[in-house]
Structure formats: C-alpha cells, structure tokens
C-alpha cells in the first residue's frame, strides 16, 4: 500500500512475500491476519515522513503468527547475523529467534553467521556456528553478541551465493541503519535471482536513529548506564568549588541518549545535541552561561552527545567502515575550551571529563530491553515463517508491526527540536543558549 498523504508525502507500507502461505501453522495462536490497521502518528513516531499530518491515518500490517505459513518447518534452514557496533540485547534477540524457531515452529537447522556480513564471504574464513536451544540458553546474561560483528559493506552477490550454497531459506539480519541498507541490497539480489528466501531485519542501534522506529532495542539499557556516569559527574562537580562534570555520550548525529539521560535525573545544567547548534562565547554562548552558573551555584554538569558542535571542530573528511563520517571529539574540545576560558578568570575551575561510550554499548540488556528483544525476536520468526520478506519488525505505539526496509532506511531519525519532548529536556536543564 502506498499512502499519499495530502498529496505531499508517499509512504509505502506494503509488505512483500516470497509466495502464498498454505501450510497450517504449528505455532500456538491466537493468529493475526494481513489486514493493515490504522495508525495516527506524530513526528516523534513517524519522523519527517508524517510531520504535520497527524490527522491522516497510515495503514500498517501487524506482527504476529499467521494461520498459515509458507515454509515447511522440518525442511527449513535459517541464518542469523549481527552487524555494526555492539548494543545491549543482541544476544537476547538471537536467543529469542532460536527458541521460537525451534520450539514454536520445529525448525531444527539454525546457523549463526560469525563476524557480521564478513561471515558470508569465503576469503575471511569465518566458521559457521550451529545455534541450538542448548547453546543459546544463557547468552542473554552476557553483553555483546556470541556471533561477533563487523562493519563495512560486502558484495551482495557473494552473500546470496553463500545463502544458496548453505540452502538458507530465511535470513535474520540484526543491525542499524547501514545494516538495513545492506539487507535491502541483499534482498534486491535475491529478487534478481528469483529465489524464495525471506530477509527479515531487526533494527538495532543505541543511537535510536532508525526512521519510523520510535525506540530501538538497547536504548533503555544505554540510558540506564549513561545515567550512572551522570551521577558520577554530578558527585565530582559538587565535590570541588567551581566543579564541572562533563560527560560525552554516544548517539552519532542524534541526541536521544543525551536527552533521555538528562530527563531521567534532573541534575544536568547544559545538554548539547547535534540537532541544536550552539556557540562557545558571546551573548547566549555556552562558556558565559557556564560562568554565570558557577558563580551562582558553584558547580555544573554538562552532557554532550558525540555529534554535537561538529561545526566548531575541524572536519576530518573521513568516513568509517560503515560509511559514516568520522566525528571530531566534542568532549576533549569542550574540556580544553572550558579550561582556556576560565584561565583568564578569577575562578579556579575543576573539570572532570567522563566518556563511558564502550561501557554504554557493551553491557547486558536491562529488564525492559530483555522483554523487548524477546518480543522482537519471536515476531521476526512469525514473519519469516509466513513468507514475509524485505521488511523489519518494529514496535510502533506499543504494537508490533511490519515495516518495509525501504521505509526505515529513507533517513535517520533525529530529535524534533519543536516537540514537547525537547521542550521538557530544556526545561529540566534551565539552559539559555543562543
């Protein structure tokens, strides 16, 4: 279905299948059908695609088991691959896919592809892991992914060659924006060869920047861990006269972790995100505002998302293995700028800088994310077994739904700075920056 919203936007919500599902579903119901249901979305949930069109319904297919499946479970082989940076909950998703496939549907052959998309490419010589309920039973207690991961593009033709050699019927690909684009390229090659292989994406990023996915798994855990760093920064700041606690948080070019952590504690005085430019000096500048705060209250806490203030830094012009631009270090930059500014003042300022980046992404999932990952994994299996393809499983307005890959890869999600959400963040800090 392509919904033309006020003749200004087109949102394609049609979910493709590899063929007609004719086999009775061995999994326990209740079953759902393919009739799309209406969603009224605001910019927070649908991003730029629905901005200003909140009164127009968008019809989206619900996730869940179908009455009939396409694949014969006893003759089906699945593969799972994790790509990109680490994220809390990866092992939980793997475990959920394996358990639902094995016990819910009777699929006995489930392959774990090692080290991301490299695992499909012969020249890397990565082994394949057989995944069973026994060897995934406890993996949710550990951070990271038992399959390993990697960044960087790989040739879709070689990947599909590998899928054919292994007789894989369905591929679960877990990753962020770049990974979903890779999944789309793999799907195109599958279409070109006219193969009956399902490709199901499970969106993953602690940055929370996937289009049409209001909250990706791992985000809650990342915020939990980030708040621990904020508490430490606050303790350090109040422990010295004119103390400044400075924390840099992950998020790339979206400031969701920084904003959410700020909301959670009410101890942050300045939050800097990529969506809102700021200046250092002059009227409305960060440094004069920080000086005023220190003279009035003798301490301050600053949270900076890693993509904030990039216009103040010298651009390297480089990109990483995933094609993302390499960001300058805003944390080190601010630390030096604060020290230089106050060196000319009659204030002995102490700056404690904390960067918890790899701690944030490497820990096991918390309870909320664990439940979320389990539901994502199980619904991914329901979709694949029904023959769905070229799609991701996501939670939208507390419902699990199917979204086309092309929709979630249209753009990166960012904070809407005109939203009530961002207004609440600013109200929490009390900052007044130009």
CA 246 – CA 269 distance, rounded (Å): 10
State the helix-helix crossing angle for 256-265 and 219-238, rounded to 10 degrees: 60
Quote the CA–CA distance of 371 and 28 in Å, as a whole number. 19
CA distance 255 to 233: 19
CB 113 within 8 A of CB 120: yes
Find, among 219, 260, 176, 198, the residue nearest to 71 by Cα.
198
Phi, psi dihedral angles at 36 (to 5 degrees): -65, 150
* Burial bucket for residue 231 (CB in 10 Å: 0-12, 13-18, 19+): middle
CA 332/CA 284 separation, integer angstroms: 22
369 in catalytic set: no
Coil vs helix vs strand at 165: helix
The answer for 85, left when phi > 0, alpha when psi is -120 to 50, beta otherwise, is beta
Q: 392 phi and psi, to 5 degrees?
A: -125, 155
Structure token pair of residue 182:
């890779």
Phi, psi (deg, nearest 5) at residue 98 = -65, -50
Closest to 198 (Cα-Cα) out of 24, 378, 391, 409? 391
Name the β-bridge partners of 11. 3
3-state secondary structure (DSSP) of residue 250: coil
CA 356 – CA 232 distance, rounded (Å): 11
- Indicate the helix (H) or strand (E) that contains 19: none
Sort residue 227 into left (φ over 0), alpha (ψ -120 to 50) or beta.
alpha
Backbone angles phi, psi at 120, to 5 degrees: -85, -15
Q: Which of 207, 209, 220, 369 is catalytic?
A: 207
DSSP alpha helices (H): ranges in 239-346?
A: 256-265, 286-297, 330-342
DSSP conformational letter for 102? I
Would you mind telling me the total number of residues written for the chain in this entry? 434
Tokens at 124, concatenated: 């890397």
Q: Torsions phi, psi of 358, nearest 5?
A: -75, -20
Catalytic residue positions?
Answer: 207
């Amino acid at each position: 279905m392509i919904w033309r919203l006020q003749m200004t936007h087109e949102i394609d919500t049609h979910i493709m299948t590899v063929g007609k599902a004719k086999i009775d579903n061995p999994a326990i119901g209740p079953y759902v059908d393919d009739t799309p249901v209406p969603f009224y979305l605001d910019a927070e949930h649908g991003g730029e695609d629905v901005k200003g069109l909140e009164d127009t319904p968008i019809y989206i297919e619900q996730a869940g088991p179908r009455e009939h499946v396409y694949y014969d479970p006893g003759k089906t082989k699945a593969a799972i691959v994790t790509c990109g940076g680490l994220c809390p909950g990866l092992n939980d998703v793997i475990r959920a896919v394996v358990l639902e496939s094995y016990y819910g549907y009777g699929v006995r052959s489930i392959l774990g592809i090692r080290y991301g998309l490299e695992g499909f490419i012969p020249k890397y010589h990565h082994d394949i892991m057989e995944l069973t309920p026994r060897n995934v039973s406890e993996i949710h207690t550990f951070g990271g992914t038992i399959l390993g991961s990697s960044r960087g593009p790989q040739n879709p033709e070689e990947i599909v060659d590998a899928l054919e050699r292994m007789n894989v019927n369905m591929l679960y690909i877990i990753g962020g924006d770049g990974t979903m684009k890779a999944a789309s390229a793999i799907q195109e090659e599958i279409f070109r060869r006219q193969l009956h292989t399902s490709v199901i994406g499970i969106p993953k990023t602690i940055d929370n920047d996937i289009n049409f996915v209001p909250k990706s798994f791992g985000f809650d855990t990342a915020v939990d861990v980030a708040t621990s760093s904020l508490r430490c920064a606050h303790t350090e700041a109040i422990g010295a006269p004119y103390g400044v606690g400075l924390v840099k948080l992950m998020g790339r070019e979206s400031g969701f972790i920084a904003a959410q952590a700020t909301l959670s504690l009410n101890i942050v005085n300045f939050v800097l995100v990529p969506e809102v430019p700021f200046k250092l000096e002059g009227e409305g500048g960060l440094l004069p505002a920080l000086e005023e705060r220190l003279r009035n209250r003798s301490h301050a806490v600053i949270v900076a998302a890693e993509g904030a203030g990039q216009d103040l830094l010298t651009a390297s012009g480089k990109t990483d293995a995933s094609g993302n631009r390499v960001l300058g270090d805003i944390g080190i930059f601010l630390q030096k700028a604060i020290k230089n500014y106050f060196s000319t003042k009659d204030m002995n300022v102490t700056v404690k800088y904390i960067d918890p980046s790899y701690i944030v992404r490497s820990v096991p999932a918390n309870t909320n994310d664990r439940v979320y990952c389990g539901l994502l994994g199980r619904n991914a299996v329901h979709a694949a077994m029904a023959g769905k393809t070229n799609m991701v499983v996501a939670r939208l307005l507390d419902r699990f739904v199917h979204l086309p890959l092309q929709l979630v890869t249209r753009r990166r999600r960012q904070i809407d700075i005109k939203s009530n959400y961002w207004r609440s963040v600013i109200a929490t800090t009390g900052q007044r920056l130009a």
